[in-house]
Amino acid sequence: MVLYQTMKTLKFKLYRHKRNKSLHQTINAAGMIYNHCIALHKRYYRMFGKCVKKAKLQSHIAKLRNRNKFWQLVGSQAVQNICERIDRAYQLFFKHNKKGFRPPNFKKVKKYKSFTLKQAGYKFVGGNRVKIGSRVYQFWNSRLIEGKIKTVTVKRNPLGELFFCVVVDNNSTPEIKSETGKIAGFDFGLKTFLTCSEGFLVQSPQFLKQAISEVKKASRSLSKKRKGSKNWEKARKHFVRQHGKVVNRRRDWFWKLAHQLTEQFDVLCFETLNLKGMQKLWGRKIGDLAFAEFIEILEWVATKKGKQLVFIDQWFPSSKTCFHCGHVLEKLELNTREWRCPSCSNVNGRDENASLNIKRVGASTLGLDSVRQGLPASVV
């Protein structure tokens, strides 16, 4: 049950430059190729009643590309990648269409966002410069690129700014160090971001709450404008900027928090995230997948520092099980913050109790005895 994340996505912003126009054109061309693939898929399906095979589509599109100057802006690998993406989307659709998955569909070229390169088509030429295609671009060199580069994706956001994302595989086997000898369990929550079994809470910082309320304000103002008008465009840009601010600030905070927690503990236990279930339970509030993002960052930091993350089974009833005697409640309402155990009559705080259970289960999967320190005598 011990998981290590060795793949990591690093995002860099490109400097503004008139040369960037050619990247925009490449993304546009990729969007046209994408739409062409979708059209082929649809036609093929109408004629033969089945999905066109990926390899067939790839070789067909490669042939067309040879005859089309504009398409050639997109490197051959990136073209292959477009076919792969569509294929994956169709697979998902066929597998889950009963659950409401939609098949991939045409996209406005203006709204098309990215293209992806694998081994070829880019080169880091030292410092903050990267060669994509035949041109060299400069980027904000905010982080060291370590590990083996798997893919490079050039993206544009709704403001027309360009980024590139590097997926690296840092495949060094982590060496588990025991510095603090400490293990802790954590429970995620909406009100309190994390409840730690060691008796402290991690709240979302105030600045983040403020930034989020700014986003809400911007979104309200946008919805009042007439779509397509000048004011609407202004409000849209404002909204996108505010939203970007939240995302960036939150990410910064996640990195800091990940470093803090891995300083304090050697082993950190969490419940496996069931994001679909959480969304159902809590509605759209966590639709932004912030928890998943935090876990990804934490995994990265933990691997770097030789710390261990343990994910316990998502079906383990961590909230409903009494930490003191093991009694399992039949039912626990979401808004019940505290409950008295009918078996041992201890009063359990919902989140504290859950975090202690997560710690205990996490420790037992590792076969750790040290966790028994700090447990009440009755359960040791």
Task: Give the up-direction half-sphere exposure of residue 344: CA atoms within 13 A in the CB hemisphere.
Answer: 14
Which run of H or of E encompasses 260?
helix 230-264
Helix (H, G, I), strand (E, B) or coil at 157: coil
Q: Which is nearer to Zn ion, 28 or 346 (CB)?
A: 346
Would you count residue 341 as binding Zn ion (CB under 5 A)?
A: yes
Residue 44: CB atoms within 10 A of its CB come to: 16
- The footprint of Zn ion on this chain (CB under 5 A) covers a number of residues equal to 7
Would you count residue 298 as binding Zn ion (CB under 5 A)?
A: no
Q: Which is nearer to Zn ion, 236 or 359 (CB)?
A: 359
CB of 355 to Zn ion, least distance (A): 16
Q: Report in angstroms the alpha-carbon separations of 318 from 25, 46, 183, 329.
A: 52, 50, 17, 10
- Report residue 41 CA to chain centroid gap: 29
Cα separation, 218 vs 161, whole angstroms: 20
Q: Which is nearer to Zn ion, 264 or 346 (CB)?
A: 346
Would you count residue 130 as binding Zn ion (CB under 5 A)?
A: no
Q: Which stretch binds Zn ion (CB under 5 A): 90-98, 117-125, 228-236, 314-322?
A: 314-322
Site string for Zn ion, 62-101 (x = CB under 5 A): ----------------------------------------
Helix (H, G, I), strand (E, B) or coil at 256: helix
Beta pairing class for 183-188 and 267-271: parallel
CB of 325 to Zn ion, least distance (A): 3
Q: What is the maximum alpha-carbon separation in the chain?
A: 78
Q: Which is nearer to Zn ion, 277 or 376 (CB)?
A: 376
Q: Which is nearer to Zn ion, 159 or 328 (CB)?
A: 328
Q: Which is nearer to Zn ion, 160 or 326 (CB)?
A: 326
CB of 350 to Zn ion, least distance (A): 14
CB of 344 to Zn ion, least distance (A): 3
Q: What is the phi/psi pair of residue 324, to 5°?
A: -80, -40
Would you count residue 324 as binding Zn ion (CB under 5 A)?
A: yes
Short-list 216, 182, 204, 213, CA closest to 291: 204
Q: Which stretch binds Zn ion (CB under 5 A): 49-57, 298-306, 310-318, 321-329?
A: 321-329
Q: Which stretch binds Zn ion (CB under 5 A): 72-80, 114-122, 136-144, 318-326?
A: 318-326
Q: Which stretch binds Zn ion (CB under 5 A): 11-19, 204-212, 329-337, 338-346?
A: 338-346
Amino acid at 335: N
The residue with tokens 């739409």 is 35
Q: Which of 325, 329, 332, 366 binds Zn ion (CB under 5 A)?
A: 325
List 138's β-bridge partners, or say none. 129
In sequence order, what E strands does 218-286 have? Answer: 267-271
Do 116 and 78 touch, CB atoms closer than 8 A?
A: yes
Q: Which stretch binds Zn ion (CB under 5 A): 50-58, 64-72, 161-169, 316-324?
A: 316-324
Q: Which of 89, 344, 366, 375 binds Zn ion (CB under 5 A)?
A: 344
Q: Which is nearer to Zn ion, 197 or 303 (CB)?
A: 197
Do 275 and 363 touch, CB atoms closer than 8 A?
A: no
Cα angle 349-350-356, degrees, rounded to a multiple of 5? 85
Would you count residue 354 as binding Zn ion (CB under 5 A)?
A: no
CB of 269 to Zn ion, least distance (A): 21
Would you count residue 327 as binding Zn ion (CB under 5 A)?
A: yes
Q: Report in angstroms the alpha-carbon separations of 119 from 74, 148, 149, 166, 378.
A: 14, 11, 8, 12, 58
Would you count residue 14 as binding Zn ion (CB under 5 A)?
A: no
Do 267 and 312 touch, CB atoms closer than 8 A?
A: no
Q: Which of 343, 364, 372, 376 binds Zn ion (CB under 5 A)?
A: 343
Q: Which stretch binds Zn ion (CB under 5 A): 40-48, 159-167, 219-227, 333-341?
A: 333-341
Q: Which is nearer to Zn ion, 250 or 324 (CB)?
A: 324
Q: Which stretch binds Zn ion (CB under 5 A): 218-226, 280-288, 295-303, 339-347?
A: 339-347
In this structure, is the dihedral angle defined by the CA atoms of residues 5, 203, 210 and 253, taken in order, positive or negative?
Answer: negative
Binding-site ranges for Zn ion (CB under 5 A)? 322, 324-325, 327, 341, 343-344
